[in-house]
Amino acid sequence: MTTAVCPGSFDPVTLGHLDLIERARALFDEVVVGVAHNAAKRALLDVETRRTLLVDAVAGIPGVRVEVVPGLLAEFCRDVGAVAVVKGLRGGADFDAEHPMALMNRHLTGVETVFVVGDPRLAHIASSMVKDVARHGGDIAGLVPDGVAAAVRSALVTPNPSPSGGTP
């Protein structure tokens, strides 16, 4: 059985993430969605909210489960027996950001990274932009799975107090 990890900060999960998770599942027997901390970002949603929204979003996809990544992604992959990290690429900027991370993860534990080219119909969807649209009162319902828009609106009213988003 082959296992892959789809990691991300998922702040919040979007329809682009969901498409990637479904496509990763078509390539691997099992997909573990890893909710991780990105040191370069301050999360809007706390880690438990991000995890819960993902659990709901992937509930209909067999062979997919969601876990919080407690530390290094490469070590998490080793611990869950994953042969690969799967990441989506919307364009060149994504590759530029992902390439050094893929090299570092391989250096740390030997885990490979597999890149999947994003669906062009979803290329405009990024968590950062979703939050910006919501912050300015725009409708994000068509960009995120059910229930996520309400959670984002609520977090904008009561922001997450933890700079790391509550990730250990």
| Interacting residues toward ligand PNS by CB under 6 A | 7-9, 36-38, 41, 69, 72-73, 101, 104-105
Count H helices, E strands: the chain?
Answer: 6, 5
Provide the minimum distance between the beta carbon of 147 and ligand PNS in the complex, in angstroms, as a whole number: 19
Rounded Cα distance between 53 and 71, Å, is 21
CB nearer to ligand PNS: pick between 74 and 157: 74
Provide the minimum distance between the beta carbon of 141 and ligand PNS in the complex, in angstroms, as a whole number: 21
Return the active site residues.
17, 41, 90, 127
End-to-end CA distance of the chain: 29
Structural contact between residues 59 and 89, judged by C-beta atoms closer than 8 angstroms: no
Provide the minimum distance between the beta carbon of 9 and ligand PNS in the complex, in angstroms, as a whole number: 4
Other residues' Cβ atoms within 10 Å of the Cβ of residue 52: 16
CB nearer to ligand PNS: pick between 1 and 143: 143
